[in-house]
Structure 1
Amino acid sequence: MGDRRLLILDDDPMTGETIQRIAEFAGLEVHFTPDPDRFFSLLHDWHPTHIALDLVMPTMDGVQVMARLAELSCRARIIITSGVGSRVLDAARRSAVEHGLDIAGVLAKPFSPPQMREMLLGQTLTTAPPPLAVTVAPVESPEITLTDLHQALDRQEFVLAYQPKVLCTTGELAGVEALVRWAHPTYGLLPPGLFIPLAESCDLIDRLTDQVINQALAWFGPLCVGATNLSPATCDRLMLSVNISARTLSNSALFVRVQECCETHRVDPARLIFELTETSAMDDPVASLDLLTRLRMIGFHLSIDDFGTGFSSMLQLVRLPFSEIKVDKSFVMTAMTSSESRTVVKFIVDLGHSLGLRCTAEGVEDAETLNYLNDISCDLAQGYHIARPLAGDDFGYWLASRSS
């Protein structure tokens, strides 16, 4: 099981001692304290792998403690406990996740020993990630200049990772999403949030999109022509998703080049899905409608990404020719601990199906969530439970390990 250490902060001695007994019986080393100062002293000296934290305490509440843990870059898995209502617990969890903390789960008091054991004995921080750590970012975000971006495009420093999408019913491969990263020679692998906004503001986004789509199609084209051991059924349904910016929607010439690139790599346009965030297509409604309609006529598919996080969702779904709807991961990741999130996920899936759209859930991190998505007839799923984004060369290894 490894060296697991649980640090408990709770002002109720009975609850703290109960958690301590459960954890010790499960084989963990445990320290329990009702005092926040003692808690942070132990955090510094003892380096716990897990933390059990009560939300409501008299001297320093759990939200303040979590904010402090975030400042300290705490990487322990955190279990939030409280007797407050489920909506408050859900809000506290969302706050913790947005602070970058690793939340194992939330437990409403009174909780059962099996619930606590399940959270304590789940995935540990020592689990090695699959190949290509695509979420790596420097501790301090580097200052990226326009010159840097021009040079990166000239040198073709942008690389792709591919995250599989599977059928919820069978777990079989149904598609991949291409995700761009900058292999910076000094700072390492940079996530898109550090360079996409600059590329958009400096009119370099189309050039970057060109490189991304060319690279993605060159990798995707050979998948079903003997380069992998995919079954004919998998090849028939396999699709490639690529994110595009709202700025790109005014550039019809770029999509002519994409069509030519599809011909070069022998990829049917009907295999390619362009993903748009749900607010981006509204920048120029008329131009967006014209171009997106033409893309659908060519055969390309369109997906509305991060659905449920913007303000123009319904209008977009009705007026634009989408073929897929993607449920935002913020709802999917909390579906098993939040009845409100489950309600939203089911609503989006039902809405998508009523409009004839295929539904994909992002952020699937455990089997329980995948089973729930299957129960509500969601079509596709992607997330760390299925696979992290993979380097192109590692995709075959993932396929082999999954089939075995």
Structure 2
Amino acid sequence: MGDRRLLILDDDPMTGETIQRIAEFAGLEVRFTPDPGDFFTLLHDWRPTHIALDLVMPTMDGVQVMARLAKLSCRAKIIITSGVGSRVLDAAGRSAVEHGLDIAGVLAKPFSPIQLREMLLGQRGSGALSAEPPKPVSPADITLADLQRGLDQREFVLAYQPKVLCTTGELAGVEALVRWAHPTHGLLPPGQFIPLAESCDLIDRLTDQVIDQALAWFGSLCAGTAQPPPVPCDRLMLSVNISARTLANVALFERVYQRCEAHRVDPARLIFELTETSAMDDPVASLDLLTRLRVIGFHLSIDDFGTGFSSMLQLVRLPFSEIKVDKSFVMTAMASSESRTVVKFIVDLGHSLGLRCTAEGVEDAETLAYLTAIGCDLAQGYHIARPLAGEDFRPWLAARFSSPTP
């Protein structure tokens, strides 16, 4: 426990000292300061694994502090504390997650020692800020020439994140997630290069490579069912994300159908995931193409549902077969009654329209139990598994067979 270090920033000395005593009793090393300047000095020099941060402070409020932590690529686990209302706390937590910070929880004042201890001790791993934080790669650092070269050299690789049935933990599908193995910047997430690919009309070429890789891997996985562990390929689904700009490329989807045949993958096992906003950009054109894709046999999922402003009418008109609850609501469901309301509403809405419901961002057993209780069909998230390299998938599945419940 000695490698856990908590740094507290709170302008109320009594609260800071209370948190310090609870954390020290739980076995953590603790530093407390009411001054943001001292806080950032300690952050760099002391490298805490955990941070307790008050939202309301006179010189620099907690939201400003979190924005700066994000710019520093801070990997410490953050506990947000405040006496403001629960809706403000929940919003602050969602803001931190969207900045890429690792949030251990939000804690309304007054809080109990048990609540704080659970957040300090109940999390997996312990992130830390490195002594020399790496400079985040900006999309501006990636040029068109870089992207073209990356496509020519086929530097884009896939990770596969499992989706399981909420009720049994049985494997139901995988989502293919693209990464760029950049020779200079390392492994880049899609947010660093997808916007450039879309703006430079290279998104279809990238999508071609992604789908070809995914189908080859998926076909090989299912063809190897004679090898242990067995894969339930008669029910297993493969999900691939599709850009709104790709919806106009009918020829691309015709090639996908041909590749399904080449890799012996039934089109009915392939799900195209579209974001809520992209699916609604041109509902008339989307209706034509998406209907054709369903006629061919492909499935369609509306991703990140709950983050856009589309009308329910458009959701009803377009032929989706799956709805995915955005992870920002799922990840905060256990701490926020508002998030739970949204999650249940989306699950009920999906079922009323005959759609299968998937919740992504499932981080713990409590959230999975809640999703099961409200009738959500599928779960996806770190509690199930992190995205896996293709060669790591079977070992993960073999380990899971010895303990099938997540």
Q: Between the two proteins, what is the percent identity of the paired residues?
A: 86
Q: Residues 155 and 109 (structure 1 numbering): CA distance in 2 closer, same or farther, change over 3 Å?
A: same
Question: Where does structure 2 lack aligned partners over 5 or more consecutive residues?
Answer: 129-133
- Alpha-carbon distance between aligned partners in 1 of 2:200 and 2:41, rounded to the nearest angstrom: 48
- Alpha-carbon distance between aligned partners in 2 of 1:267 and 1:124, rounded to the nearest angstrom: 37
Match of 2:242 in 1: 244
Q: How does 1:16-95 map to 2 (within 5 A)?
A: 16-95=16-95
- Alpha-carbon distance between aligned partners in 1 of 2:229 and 2:124, rounded to the nearest angstrom: 33
Q: Residues 52 and 400 (structure 1 numbering): CA distance in 2 closer, same or farther, change over 3 Å?
A: same
- TM-score when scaled to structure 2? 0.91
> Once the two structures are superposed, what CA deviation does each residue of 1:106-153 show, in whole Å capped at 9, x if it has no partner?
11112111111011113365479xxxxxxxx96232633333322222
Residues matched between the structures, number: 395
Offset at residue 264 of structure 1 (A): 1.0
Offset at residue 313 of structure 1 (A): 4.7
Match of 1:133 in 2: none
Match of 1:372 in 2: 370
Conserved in 2, the CA contact under 8 Å of 1:224 and 1:230?
no
Q: 1:386 aligns with which of 384, 387, 392?
A: 384
Name the stretch that deviates more: 284-293 or 314-323: 284-293
Name the stretch that deviates more: 245-254 or 27-36: 27-36
Q: How does 1:1-400 map to 2 (within 5 A)?
A: 1-123=1-123, 125-126=125-126, 139-141=136-138, 143-227=141-225, 228-231=227-230, 234-400=232-398
Q: Residues 58 and 189 (structure 1 numbering): CA distance in 2 closer, same or farther, change over 3 Å?
A: closer
Offset at residue 252 of structure 1 (A): 1.6
Conserved in 1, the CA contact under 8 Å of 2:180 and 2:187?
yes
- Alpha-carbon distance between aligned partners in 1 of 2:91 and 2:219, rounded to the nearest angstrom: 44
Q: Secondary structure at the match of 1:343?
A: helix
Q: Residues 313 and 274 (structure 1 numbering): CA distance in 2 closer, same or farther, change over 3 Å?
A: farther
> Once the two structures are superposed, what CA deviation does each residue of 1:41-95 show, in whole Å capped at 9, x if it has no partner?
4334322221222222344332333334334443321111112110111122223
- Alpha-carbon distance between aligned partners in 2 of 1:206 and 1:10, rounded to the nearest angstrom: 49
Q: Secondary structure at the match of 1:174?
A: strand
Coordinate RMSD, CA, aligned: 2.1
- Alpha-carbon distance between aligned partners in 2 of 1:269 and 1:219, rounded to the nearest angstrom: 15
Question: Where does structure 1 lack aligned partners over 5 or more consecutive residues?
Answer: 129-136
Q: Residues 298 and 72 (structure 1 numbering): CA distance in 2 closer, same or farther, change over 3 Å?
A: closer
- Alpha-carbon distance between aligned partners in 1 of 2:156 and 2:135, rounded to the nearest angstrom: 17
Conserved in 2, the CA contact under 8 Å of 1:333 and 1:364?
yes
- TM-score when scaled to structure 1? 0.91
Report the residue type matching 1:294 in the other structure: R
Q: Residues 32 and 151 (structure 1 numbering): CA distance in 2 closer, same or farther, change over 3 Å?
A: closer
Conserved in 2, the CA contact under 8 Å of 1:83 and 1:108?
yes
> Once the two structures are superposed, what CA deviation does each residue of 1:325-344 show, in whole Å capped at 9, x if it has no partner?
00111111111111111110
- Alpha-carbon distance between aligned partners in 2 of 1:98 and 1:40, rounded to the nearest angstrom: 21
Report the residue type matching 1:284 in the other structure: D
Offset at residue 245 of structure 1 (A): 1.4
Q: Secondary structure at the match of 1:305?
A: strand
Q: Secondary structure at the match of 1:257?
A: helix
